[in-house]
Amino acid sequence: METESGGVRRRGREAVVAGVRGLGLAVLGLAGSITLFVLAVVSIALVPLGAGIVTTPWVLNGVRAFANARRIVAAQWCGVRIPAVYRPVPEGANPWTRCFGMLSDPATWRDLGWLLVDMTAGFVTAVLPAALVFYPVEGFALALGLWRVFTDGTYVGWWYGFVPVSGQGSALLAGALGAVLLVGAYHLSPALLRLHFLLTRSVLASGQGELAERVRVLTETRRDAVDTSAAELRRIERDLHDGAQARLVAMGMDLGTVEALIEKDPAKAKELLAQARQSSADALTELRDLVRGIHPPVLAERGLGDAVRALALRLPLATEVDVSLHGRAEAPVESAAYFAVSEVLTNAVKHSGADRVWVDVHHADGMLRIAVTDNGKGGTRIGAGSGLAGIERRLGTFDGVLAVSSPAGGPTMVTMEIPCVLS
């Protein structure tokens, strides 16, 4: 019986929370949608006059931020995931390129269409759960005597829903209707709030357009992966040529000289043998470093968690590593995550001015999530040619994402997410 009672209370709380959230969405959503839609229309209309070229990207960024905020609450409140598929705008692009790049993005027009829907049907679907939760209060108040404020009993002075309230009897009917609505709120409010977000998803998430955009993203990430692999091969070839190969050639020459001097000048031959032995040790060290750069043995043998811990041990900064992985991801995913963490930690050591770093690695909801935080000076940005841009391309090959929070003065948090399963 206690379990059933607890379930009733929990369901009641969910209904009330849905009503409060619906009311907030209705009020803030209506105001935001109308304001942003009017600003967007005016700004786009000013594009032919030139002023809109400057203002339109700012307004459309505001529209995107508003839509992304709705995406966040949709996922957090009702588990409705709405993909955000915007075409990237080149870093440092001029206003002309930025304006027409955003206007040529189909996602921009979906956002504007959603603003129209949000201020109409979206408002209705948001206010419904709130009405079911709060409107019964008025019915109960009428039944308790508030009807006397609106009528003297000789005429209909107030309507509660479809009930004309003119006396205590009709006021009790209003209270009964309020009770029915309250029961409806208990059962329907969470579902109605979810309906609001499903409506939002139906407008913001495209069908064929999303598929075409997905193909475009995959094409870009595939090209980036090919370019990255080619660059990695050139790096390995260069390291072998300039490092281990050169040392081995020098060692061969030293051994040839030793062969010629071993009878004529044994002391010199002994000196050259020691030099050759040192060259062989240096070549072996360079080969080991090269192999570790291709795929660290600790990563292959013990997995991502221990590999990240090994990275942290080599840092000159105080580093805390928290790993919660119940299994291993596929080798390519582990490799991408490892080198991404390595690059972020290297950047923290070189550029952040930090004296402490925290690394959190865990897997939840089908996502490998890695957060690297330092207490440095902040100001880190993802830009063309930067190490973070390379990490973003590397993760994009696996549908991963990179987010950076780095206000001036710090701290800096770099968050990486890669969809994967552990085995």
CA distance 319 to 61: 37
Q: Among residues 198, 204, 221, which one has the least CA distance to residue 79? A: 198
Supply the pTM of this predicted model. Answer: 0.55
User: Within a 10 A sphere around the Cβ of 38, how many other Cβ atoms?
Assistant: 12
Q: Among residues 196, 66, 203, which one has the least CA distance to residue 131? A: 196
Q: Among residues 67, 75, 73, which one has the least CA distance to residue 367? A: 75
Beta strands at 318-324 and 356-364: parallel, antiparallel or unpaired: parallel
pLDDT at position 316, please?
87
DSSP assigned state of 151: -
Q: What are phi and psi of 153, to 5 degrees?
A: 90, -5
Q: Find the angle CA(115)-CA(121)-CA(123) to the nearest 5 degrees.
A: 75
Q: With contact defined as beta carbons under 8 Å apart, do 200 and 130 qualify?
A: no
User: Within a 10 A sphere around the Cβ of 162, how many other Cβ atoms?
Assistant: 8
Q: Find the angle CA(86)-CA(87)-CA(92) to the nearest 5 degrees.
A: 115
Give residue for tokens 């031959």.
269
Integer Rg of the chain from CA: 32
- Enter the tokens of residue 212: 């075409």
pLDDT at position 35, please?
96
Which ranges of 295-386 does DSSP label H, i.e. alpha helix?
297-302, 304-313, 331-347
Q: What is the mean pLDDT of each run of 10 residues along the chain (423 residues)?
A: 67 89 94 96 93 93 92 88 80 86 91 95 93 88 79 65 81 87 88 94 73 61 59 63 66 74 77 77 66 67 88 87 89 86 86 88 89 86 66 79 82 89 85
User: Within a 10 A sphere around the Cβ of 223, how many other Cβ atoms?
Assistant: 11
CA distance 301 to 341: 18
CA distance 43 to 212: 28
CA distance 228 to 216: 18
Cα–Cα separations (whole angstroms), residue 60 to 30, 103, 283:
17, 9, 56
Close Cβ partners of 125 (under 8 Å, ≥ 6 residues apart): 192, 195, 196, 199
Q: With contact defined as beta carbons under 8 Å apart, do 248 and 266 qualify?
A: no
Q: What are phi and psi of 383, to 5 degrees?
A: -135, 160
pLDDT at position 152, please?
60
pLDDT at position 1, please?
42
- Enter the tokens of residue 403: 């987010």
pLDDT at position 170, please?
82
